[in-house]
Amino acid sequence: MRHRLIVPAAAAASLLLAIPASAAEPTPGAPGVGDSYYPTAGNGGYHVSHYDLRLKYQPQTDKLEGTATLTATTTQALSRFNLDFALDVSEVTVNGKPTFFAKSGDHELEITPSAPLPEGKQITVVVRYSGTPSQVKIGGYSAWQRTPDGAVVANEPESAAWWFPSNDHPRDKATYDISIAVPDGLQTVSNGELKSQSSKLGWTRYNWRATKPQASYLTTLAIGKFDITTDKTADGLPVLNAYSKDLGDNLASAKASVERSAEIIEWESKIFGPYPFNAIGGYVPNVKTGYALETQTRPYYSPSGFANGANTSLVVHELAHQWFGDNVSVKNWRDIWVNEGFATYAQWLWSDKEGEGTTQELADYTYDGIPADNAFWKVKPGDPGAENQFHGAVYQRGAVALQALRNRVGDKTFFAILKGWQTDNKFGNGSVQDFVAYAEKVSGKQLKSLFDTWLFTDSKPSAAVAAKDGI
Ligand code: ARG
Ligand code: ZN
């Protein structure tokens, strides 16, 4: 095969010319995407298009074993790149070649391919790993919750690092195949559709598939004893809801809420535009923690959300996030208002429809009811700070901002803005500033001072200023 190295002089010259003089030297990919709230979230230098996770979990010992196969494309010439991951890694290959890797910090996995990767190259990265995720702490905390009969992982802004290696930032969305084997007799819940399940040697393997771009923090997994209900919507979308068998007195109220998911999505589709995904549902694991999360296609609900009877408003909130948060995601975590302000406003629209208070009444109630010296008014919904990302102000004052916008531009334009924002940014990202610019474009109005008042002022807007915005 020696003759292959003999290249005619002319051809050799053209080969040399084919290498652009400016070809960048390979450099390490950044250990973060550049999000000021979470500097190590995500990584630079590549985009992931698909995650294939093949997992096995034993609840008795909390042992998770996995092989993750990531399909990615480099966005720069890379000498090295990072994945965000906290479990123990035994082997990494890149394009089939065993590769040097090292842990850095508490959730960075540095991968050094045997040869540098050029820009624009498709790569296949395989990571073999195992661990006891509930014992693995990042900043003293684990997002992996054990339950009496299994486990569940669902959290924001970070949850992936406890169960699969990823580019852990909503700017890099991908599709997912999640295959999980658990001891016979247990069920699993994840995103998208359950394509198949089969049992062998005492283990049942469930194969889940999510075919639309999905952020890593919206990717969820639960293992346990669940009652599962399935259905099809009028449009033929598969519905799958799951309830822990141990919800006790909360089971009936959880069902009375979550079983209405398809109906609520139909109502929201009329306001926000077509439902972006191709599966629907919700699930209620047996956890003690008290939050809900808009995990894609299948929100996660703590049982405590249903402790006072049905809570359709909560379901309306998490399902509104399927548009605001999941279809259009934050560009940076400081943009959290583009998720929470809108999901809260959806609850206000539901209240309006149910005759439990109009959106205007709820905006006035928020403004009038919270005194100026309350710390609530110190938080700027448009840039709340990482420590206040989920502060009530982002939600409630964030929704007041939308009522102010609606009052300024009128109903027709307001609802055109909501729908258009979804179509224009389908499966993408948008910042607060992008939304303001978009609302100005659609309405033809100057809106900077309105949004400054409601999103970017760290005090209660005066009565005179509020009155100008109809609040
Ligand atoms: N996006 C979620 C919601 O509003 C909030 C999750 C807050 N996370 C937490 N660990 N409390 O529905
Ligand atoms: Zn929310």
pLDDT in tens, 168-218: 999 999 999 999 999 999 999 999 999 999 999 999 999 999 999 999 999
User: How much is the pLDDT for 172?
Assistant: 98
Q: What is the rounded CA–CA span in Å between residue 440 and residue 453? A: 16
Confirm if 330 and 390 have CB atoms less than 8 A apart. Answer: no
Burial 36-51 (b: 16+ CB within 10 A, else e): ebbebbbbbbbebeeb
User: How much is the pLDDT for 23?
Assistant: 64
Q: Identify the weakest region by mean pLDDT among 68-72, 105-109, 220-224, 274-278.
A: 105-109
Dump pLDDT digits (tens) for 130-139: 999 999 999 8
Q: From the alpha carbon of 292, which atom of ligand 1 is closest?
A: 12
Place of tokens 């053209």: 14
Query: Which region holds residue 385: left if phi is over 0, alpha if psi is between -120 and 50, else beta?
Result: left
Q: What percent of the chain has pLDDT over 90?
A: 94
Does residue 288 register a pLDDT over 50?
Answer: yes
pLDDT band, very low/low/confident/very high, at 219 (cuts 50, 70, 90) = very high
Q: What is the rounded CA–CA span in Å between residue 194 and residue 211? A: 12
Q: From the alpha carbon of 339, which atom of ligand 1 is closest?
A: 1
From the CA of 397, how far away is ligand 2's center (Å)? 13
User: How much is the pLDDT for 24?
Assistant: 80
Q: What angle do CA 368, 374, 378 make, to 5 degrees?
A: 105
Q: What is the rounded CA–CA span in Å between residue 201 and residue 49? A: 33
User: How much is the pLDDT for 192?
Assistant: 98
Confirm if 397 and 454 have CB atoms less than 8 A apart. Answer: yes
Confirm if 339 and 299 have CB atoms less than 8 A apart. Answer: no
DSSP characters for 12-72?
A: HHHHHHHS-TTPPPPEEPPSS---SSSTTSS-SSEEEEEEEEEEEEETTTTEEEEEEEEEE
User: How much is the pLDDT for 9?
Assistant: 39
pLDDT band, very low/low/confident/very high, at 421 (cuts 50, 70, 90) = very high
Mutate to test the pocket of ligand 1, among 144, 288, 293, 313 (most ligand atoms within 8 A of CB): 293
Q: What is the rounded CA–CA span in Å between residue 98 and residue 237? A: 42
Mutate to test the pocket of ligand 1, among 390, 391, 395 (most ligand atoms within 8 A of CB): 390
Both tokens of 264, joined, read: 């609520």
Mean pLDDT across 419-448: 98
Mean pLDDT across 24-35: 95
Q: What are phi and psi of 200, to 5 degrees?
A: -160, 130
E-assigned strand segments in 274-403: 280-284, 292-293, 300-301, 328-330
Q: Which residues have CB under 8 Å from 449's CB, separation 6+?
A: none
User: How much is the pLDDT for 135?
Assistant: 97
Q: Which residue from 350, 191, 206, 154 is spatially nearest to 281, judged by alpha carbons? A: 191
Q: What is the rounded CA–CA span in Å between residue 64 and residue 233? A: 35
Peptide bond into 157 cis (omega under 30): yes
Q: For all residues of the chain together, what is the average pLDDT? A: 95
Residue of the nearest CA to atom 11 in ligand 1?
291
**Coil, strand, or helix at residue 10?**
helix
Dump pLDDT digits (tens) for 301-349: 999 999 999 999 999 999 999 999 999 999 999 999 999 999 999 999 9
Does residue 163 register a pLDDT over 50?
Answer: yes
